[in-house]
Amino acid sequence: MTRLANGGVIDRQRPLHFTFNGKRYQGYEGDTLASALMANDVLIVGRSFKYHRPRGILTCGPEEPNALVQLVSDGDQPNLRATEVPLREGLEARSVNCWPSAKFDLRAINSFLAPLFPAGFYYKTFMAGRWDFYSRFIRQAAGLGRSPKERDPGRYERVNHHTDVLVVGAGPTGVQAAKVLAESGRDVMVIDMQASPGGHLLFHSCQIDSQPGVEWVSQAAVELRDRKNVTWLQNTTATGYYDHNMVIAVEHEPAESWLRERLWHIRAKKVVIATGAVERPLIFPGNDRPGVMLADAVARYIQRFAAVPGKSVVIYTNNSTAYAHLETFKAAGIEIQGVLDLRESLSETELGLASKSKVPVVVNSRITGVQGRSAVKGVTYQDESGIKTLSCDLVCHSGGWNPLIHLYSHAGGRSRFDQESAAFVPGERAQGAYSIGGANGTFSLGQGLKEASEIANLLFGEKSDDSASSALAVPVTEGEVSYRIDEIWPEKGLKGKAFVDFQNDVTTADISLAVRENFRSIEHVKRYTTAGMAVDQGKIGNPNVIGLVSRELDQEQTSVGTTTFRPPFAPVSFGVIGGNERGLLIIPARTTPMTDWNIANGAAMDEAGANFRRPFFFPRAGESMEDAVAREATAVRTSCGIYDGTPLGTFELHGPDTAELLNRLYTNRFDNLPVGRGRFGLMLREDGRLFDDGVTFRVDETRYLMSCGTGAAGAVYAHIDRLLQTEWIDLKVYLVNVSAAWATMCVCGPMARKVLDKLESDIALDPSFRFLDFRDGTLEGIPVRLARVSYTGELSFEVNVARRSALKLWTILIDAGKEFGITPVGSETSGVLRIEKGFISPGHEGDNITNPFDAGMGWIVDMTKPDFIGKRSLLRDMRLGGERQHVVGLLPDDERAAVADGSALLPAQQELSRSGFQGHVTAACFSPTLKRTIALGLLKDGQSRHGEKVIISGLENSCPATVSAPVFYDPKGERMRG
Amino acid sequence: MSYQVEVSSLADYALINLRGEAQVITNWEAALDVVFPKAPHTAVINEAFSVLSLASDHWWVRTALKSEDEVFRRLSQAVSGEHAAVTVVTDHFQGFSIKGPDAVAVLRQGFSLDLRLLDSGQCTRGGFARCGATLQVVESGTDYELFVESSYSKYVECWLKVAQGDTV
């Protein structure tokens, strides 16, 4: 085991056992899966996507491109980065994208076929022939990991949080900014993706205010956490920065033990981005071999986890930071074979560090190859004197630092290329986003702390001398190695594969090829080569791609620019995105007082619009849906049915101008509606198309009760509210939503009156109680409003009752109706009954083109009224003339034909004057009353085509049908008026 | 294994919705012998009534269920002949009490509002857990009353349980 006897922040008193690729290992509390694998000498962790090359761990953070694993324990979770998975007892993980194993992967044959798979090979190879043929094979090979098949056992939470300032990153600069801001009394939230505060100081020795830097940060963090105005979260990654300074962050393993992750929606007035920087790889042949790692990552594994990835190292660099690790490596017992530096000369500091560690340095040298396939055995390099070899089992390389400008860019900030640091750094700022420290390209700790203090003091436009916080002195730093880099690119035409995107296997040759093929925009190069499109989203590789493209095009990197940074910064689980909106909470399901009764009585439930669940039908034992619907419909036509109409929208309208309002909203008149009566109304949109319909009752001189369709209720309420608040502010009307205050139960059928007659009531049900009358009174002592309204075409009484008494009255009605065979009816049955009656449903026959005349509802349009919504558009329709689609009835020749809603209507063979699409079926059913299939449809010029033949053409079958009037049953409406 | 919060359905209350311009407020105040809250999103509470100001022309009067008819009658008579609307909405809403040191931890899962800005005795309306809600702050940070449309009551009851950390 390559674990140091001392050091690190792991808890050696708490050993943890885990399984990787079927083999058991041991790690410690505080380990990540990556560090534990490293400590157990596991070199090959996964395979690359295209060539299936063996890959080891490259980095120590969320930028890891190689070590993707499938977490089998705690639910199947694919594509987690081993560097981000905290070790726990019993953890079980395995490699992805390999078969039969990561060590021996048969698909590695792809590596030998590499010449066939250059950049863009998809586009070149599969242009000819049928994509659906190729895609079967490609899809089999594609994808990483396995989607979980079981329900995710994890629990997640989404929360909203408001703060004055959000500080992203609890490294030294983030902490310094937080200290200053907290002192000023602002509400401050600090989030940090690491388990402990400290940022890069967790891995690098440096003094702040004469104490070790990490201790300075820890002490400041403890003080800040104790403050009431500070919210502090570790293990929390900011994944996106959206408009209005909203930052989304994922907290992993929150303190609340029942939660796996928590999604934070953070709305801040200002955001300080102190996310630091990530190390950039160098480009050289074999830079992807297991055992080739980023230098800073190796230092991190040693310092934090006491895990040592090799015994003998060659360091390869173009900048100063690798020299800061020499002592760390030596202290860990790693033999340093030498430093190969691309630069021509070193600074005094760098030379001093190398000399102190007694490490040979070869300047102006470059690695030309890595020996070993599954493990590093050595490197070949070239210096001024020729090609040489060094034996080693570990190669550490450092190509400089990339400021993490992702959040800044999400916010809309622009980046610019800084020659001195050879990196893209924040440029023109957007929203309230302020980058500091490494994230701002300020790689000096002292400068970063000064920058943090200045930004924090000026964040809210306060003068620094007015703020109590300005009294906080900028901390003094010691022991820094100043950052110095020479950007040196590999020579053109490298021999061997040198990777710029590790996960997607994009090489320098692929970039050159793309540019040769005239892809000049960096966005096009990205898509053609897939560089930066893997799980790591090019965090470490993209700057190298940009650099290579700039070299190929002979352009400045600034003019090449970056690709677009899009959220999320790091992959986010679907679980945490969904939060608790799953299972019973997947939709905000609405219920009526009768919902439980309906379910208990066997209703097949269905979504009925506006998130209501309603009975679809009530099957009895052994009944099919068709049988149940036929039984229910027959009961309504011959005896009595009852259905729950509670989901309908109900609004009270108060005020002296309500009649005028209704006159403007509906196509027909309401100003002559007497008290105690109701009237059916049709509501149009401004464009004259069907919007909604319903019955409105006049309760007293100035008070009305309006009902509307379930699905349209929200839109109708908003429509009226908007008109009253913005358009017709002179109208004295108040609108009150009482939809859920009332429950509505419809007793319908020829026996309906007899059912109600059985109940003790003060409401006379004699013939003076006419169709569209309503009466207030009691049924069995329960206050009700009875209305004569029918949606079924039968004698119907709509019983409206306060929600609190609804279930009681419902069961009373059921009991009273037993002797008449009262039958609960579902929405599928009421749909059949409405088709039989030819009642227009704006949700079916209204297709955003249909106007009332098309629907055969000209009888309800009073064009003599001064105005109503949609009148002007109707006048336009009338003046334009031309052929329009009309609602018609359809009687298939085959009386038992199965006709699907949406089937096309085509001209019959003998109809030579017409061709092409004629319309479509809007609703169809088998009518138990008429004992045949019937349908409603929209047909071109349909009102003049009654008696003609058309073809109903569905996906599965077609049949001839005769066009008819749309009312199939009781066309005079005698039954419902009876 | 859950937040320190007690959630319960409110019972024995009546809600009366009032809409009217400034000139009718005095009528209602006289009818109930209560001074209505004038500042937006504030509430006035006494032994018999809570009066919530929801908008410049919109109030809720909350009282005991047994007083529903009587209070409705008094409020209606007070504005007889005036342009105002008095509507019983007791059944349209379901109230929940959310009490405990972690009350905000539960509420912030559903509200995107800045709950820091609401002091004791204030009220507000907003989106909550994908349905609308009215929130009354009894004691800021620890005691809240939440009203949702009754058709959402079962969903919200279940939602609150899950948000508390319970399983359903």
Q: Is residue A668 part of a domain?
A: yes
What confidence tier does A466 reach under pLDDT thresholds 50, 70, 90? very low
B19 touching chain A per CB within 8 A: yes
| Claim to verify: residue A656 and residue A730 sit in the same structural domain | yes
* Residue A610 shares a structural domain with residue A693: no
- C-beta neighbour count of B1 within 10 angstroms: 9
What are the C-alpha distances in Å from A424 to residues A171, A274, A414? 21, 16, 10
Residue A147 lies in a domain: no
CA–CA separation, B95 and B13 (whole Å): 9
Q: How many domains does chain A have?
A: 7
- Min Cα distance A577 → chain B (Å) is 13
Cβ–Cβ below 8 Å for A736 and B17: yes
Among candidate residues B72, B121, B58, the one with its CA nearest the CA of residue A802: B72
Domain stops at, among A348, A381, A399: A399
Nearest partner of A846 among A715, A650, A960, judged by Cα = A715
If asked whether residues A437 and A541 sit together in one domain, one would say no
Minimum mean pLDDT among A62-66, A456-460, A698-702: which range? A456-460
pLDDT digits (tens, 9 = 90+) for A21-50: 999 999 999 999 999 999 999 999 999 988
Mean pLDDT value across residues A338-343: 97
Chain A residue numbers with beta carbons less than 8 Å from the beta carbon of B89 are: 736, 738, 741
Co-location of A768 and A748 in the same domain = yes
Q: Please say if the pLDDT value at position A114 is more than 80.
A: no
Which one is predicted more confidently, A472 or A12? A12
Contact A608, A709 (CB under 8 A): no
Asked if the Cβ–Cβ distance from B89 to A736 is below 8 Å, we say yes
Using the Cβ of B76 and the Cβ atoms of chain A, whether some distance falls under 8 Å is answered with no
Instruction: Identify the structural domains of chain B with CATH numbers, from first to last.
Output: 6-10+92-164 (3.30.1360.120), 14-91 (3.30.70.1520)
Verify that A630 and A769 share a domain, yes or no: yes
Non-local CB neighbours of A120 within 8 Å, separated by 6+ positions:
A513, A514, A517, A528, A529
Average pLDDT over residues B114-141: 95
Q: Do A160 and B108 touch (CB under 8 A)?
A: yes
A662-671 pLDDT, tens digit per residue, is 999 999 999 9
What are the chain A neighbours of B150 within 8 Å (beta carbons)? 740-741, 803
Distance CA A186, CA A467 (A): 11
Provide the pairing of β-strand A312-317 with A335-341: parallel
Question: How many whole angstroms separate alpha carbon A169 and alpha carbon A196?
Answer: 11
Beta-carbon separation of B91 and A802 below 8 A = yes
Residue of B nearest to A262 (CA): B109
Domain boundary among A355, A382, A399: A399
- Residue of A20, A15, A36 lying closest to A89 (CA atoms): A15
- Complete edge-to-edge strand list for the sheet that includes strand A312-317: A292-294, A394-398, A312-317, A335-341, A361-362
Q: Rounded to a whole number, what is the distance in Å from the CA of B38 to chain A's nearest CA?
A: 20
The CATH number given to whatever domain includes residue A537 is 1.10.10
Same domain, A166 and A263: yes
Phi and psi torsions of B164, nearest 5°: -70, -20
Lowest mean pLDDT among A32-46, A489-503, A780-794, A887-901: A489-503
Residue A855 domain-assigned (yes or no): no
pLDDT exceeds 80 at position A922? yes
B131 and chain A: CB distance < 8 Å anywhere?
A: yes
Taking CB atoms and an 8 Å limit, are A736 and B19 in contact across chains? yes
Q: Do B112 and A265 touch (CB under 8 A)?
A: yes
Confidence at residue A907, expressed as pLDDT on a 0 to 100 scale? 94
Calculate the CA dihedral of residues A130, A133, A137, A142 and round it to 10 degrees: 50
Query: Which residues on B lie below 8 Å from A652 (Cβ)?
Result: 85, 87
Question: Domain for residue A892, yes or no?
Answer: yes
Q: Which residues, listed in sequence order, are joined to residue B137 by a DSSP beta bridge?
A: B144
pLDDT at A144: 81
Q: Which residues of B touch A590 (CB under 8 A)?
A: 149, 151-152, 155
Q: Looking at the structure, tell me whether residues A378 and A268 fall in a common domain.
A: no
Q: Ramachandran region of residue A37, left (φ > 0), alpha (ψ -120 to 50) or beta?
A: alpha
> CB–CB of B1 and A803 under 8 A?
no
Query: A166 and A17, same structural domain?
Result: no
DSSP A297-362: HHHHHHHHH-B---SEEEEEESBSGGGGGHHHHHHTT-EEEEEEESSS---HHHHHHHHHTT--EE
Full DSSP string of B59-92? EEEEE-GGGHHHHHHHHHHHTTTSSEEEEE-GGG
Q: Which of A564, A582, A605 is the last residue of a domain?
A: A564
Mean pLDDT along residues A78-82: 92
Claim to verify: residue A353 and residue A263 sit in the same structural domain: no
Whether residue A461 is predicted with pLDDT greater than 80 in this model: the reply is no
Give residue A198's pLDDT: 94
Residue A178 included in any domain = yes
Distance CA(A806)–CA(A779), nearest Å, equals 11
A656 with B88: Cβ contact below 8 A: no
Structural domain including A300 reads: 281-399
Q: Peptide bond before A568: cis, by omega within 30 degrees of 0?
A: yes
Q: Please say if the pLDDT value at position A637 is more than 70.
A: yes
> Which 8-state DSSP code applies to residue A491?
P
What would the two tokens of residue A113 be? 């076929």
- Which of B3, B24, B112, B151 is the best substitution to test chain A (most A C-beta atoms within 10 A)? B151
Sign of dihedral through CA atoms A921, A923, A924, A929? negative
> The domain that contains A928 carries what CATH number?
2.40.30.110
Q: Which residues of A touch B66 (CB under 8 A)?
A: none
**How far does A44 lie from chain B, in Å, by closest CA?**
39
Judge whether B89 is closer than 8 Å to chain A, CB to CB.
yes
Assigned token pair, A968 = 């199939």
In a domain, A869, yes or no: no
Q: Does A771 lie in the same domain as A623?
A: yes
Chain A residue whose CA is closest to B117: A162
Task: Kindly state the average pLDDT of the residues A848-877.
Answer: 96
User: How many residue pairs from chains A and B have C-beta atoms closer than 8 A?
Assistant: 108
Q: Are A18 and A91 in contact (CB under 8 A)?
A: yes
SS3 state at A77? strand
Asked whether residue A136 is assigned to any structural domain, the reply reads: no
Residue A580 with chain B: CB contacts under 8 Å: 109, 159, 162-163
Q: What percent of chain B has pLDDT over 90?
A: 94
Judge: A258–B2 Cβ closer than 8 Å, yes or no: yes
Average pLDDT of chain A, as a whole number: 93
Please give the pLDDT value at position A127. 72
Answer yes or no: do B150 and A736 touch at CB < 8 A. Answer: no
Mutate to test the interface with B, among A262, A648, A734, A784 (most CBs of B within 10 A): A734
User: Mind listing the pLDDT tens digit for each residue in A539-594?
Assistant: 999 999 999 999 999 999 999 999 999 999 999 999 999 999 999 999 999 999 99
Within a 10 A sphere around the Cβ of B12, how many other Cβ atoms? 7
- Specify the pLDDT at position A464: 45
- Interface mutation vs chain A, best among B1, B92, B128, B134, most A CBs within 10 Å: B92
Say how far apart CA A378 and CA A384 lie, in whole Å.
Answer: 20
pLDDT in tens, A724-740: 999 999 999 999 999 99
Asked if B155 lies within 8 A of A579 by C-beta distance, the reply is no
Count CB neighbours of A890 within 10 A. 28
Task: Average the pLDDT over A115-123 and give the result.
Answer: 79
Set of chain A residues whose Cβ sits within 8 Å of the Cβ of B60: none
> pLDDT-based confidence at A318, cuts 50/70/90?
very high
Check which CATH number belongs to the domain holding A197 and give it: 3.50.50.60
C-alpha A757/C-alpha A491 separation (Å) is 98
Above 70 in pLDDT, residue A621? Answer: yes
CB contact under 8 A, B116 and A589: no
> What average pLDDT score do residues A58-75 get?
92
* Domain contains A854: no
**Distance of alpha carbon B37 from alpha carbon A14, whole angstroms:** 60
Say yes or no for a CB contact (<8 Å) between B91 and A267. Answer: no
**CA A604 to CA A620: how far, in whole Å?**
10
Dihedral of alpha carbons A555, A559, A565, A570, sign: positive
Closest CA to A456 of A469, A437, A440: A469
Please answer yes or no on whether A590 and B84 come within 8 Å at the CB atom: no
Domain identity same for A262 and A384: no
Asked if B12 is an interface residue toward chain A (Cβ–Cβ < 8 A), one would say no
The string of pLDDT tens digits covering residues A230-286 is 999 999 999 999 999 999 999 999 999 999 999 999 999 999 999 999 999 999 999
Helix-helix angle A445-458:A172-183, to 10 degrees: 30
- Per-residue pLDDT tens over the stretch B40-82: 899 999 999 999 999 999 999 999 999 999 999 999 999 999 9
Cβ–Cβ contact B133 with A under 8 A? no
Q: Taking CA atoms, what residue in B is nearest to A162?
A: B114
A740 with B149: Cβ contact below 8 A: yes
Instruction: Tell me the pLDDT band of A164, cut-offs 50, 70 and 90.
Output: very high
Q: Which of B:38-57 have CB within 8 Å of A? A: none
Q: What is the CATH number of the domain that holds A781?
A: 3.30.1360.120
Asked if A630 and A748 sit in the same domain, the reply is: yes
Q: Which of B83, B109, B155 sits opposite A589 (nearest CB)?
A: B155
At residue A221, the 3 state secondary structure works out as helix
DSSP-derived 3-state class of residue A118: coil
Tell me the C-alpha distance between A20 and A72, whole Å.
10
Residue A99 has a pLDDT of 83
C-alpha span between A490 and A317 (Å, rounded): 12
Rounded percentage of chain A residues whose pLDDT exceeds 70: 98
Encoded tokens for A445: 């700790």
Q: Average pLDDT, stretch A153-167?
A: 96
Cis peptide before A928 (omega within 30 of 0): no
For B112, the closest chain A residue by CA position comes to A160
Among B83, B131, B151, select the one facing A592 at the smallest CB separation.
B151
Strands (E), A793-918: 796-802, 823-824, 885-892, 904-907
Record the tokens describing residue A538, joined without a space: 């090019």
> Between chains, do B89 and A157 touch, taking CB under 8 Å as contact?
no
Q: Helix or strand or coil: residue A671?
A: coil
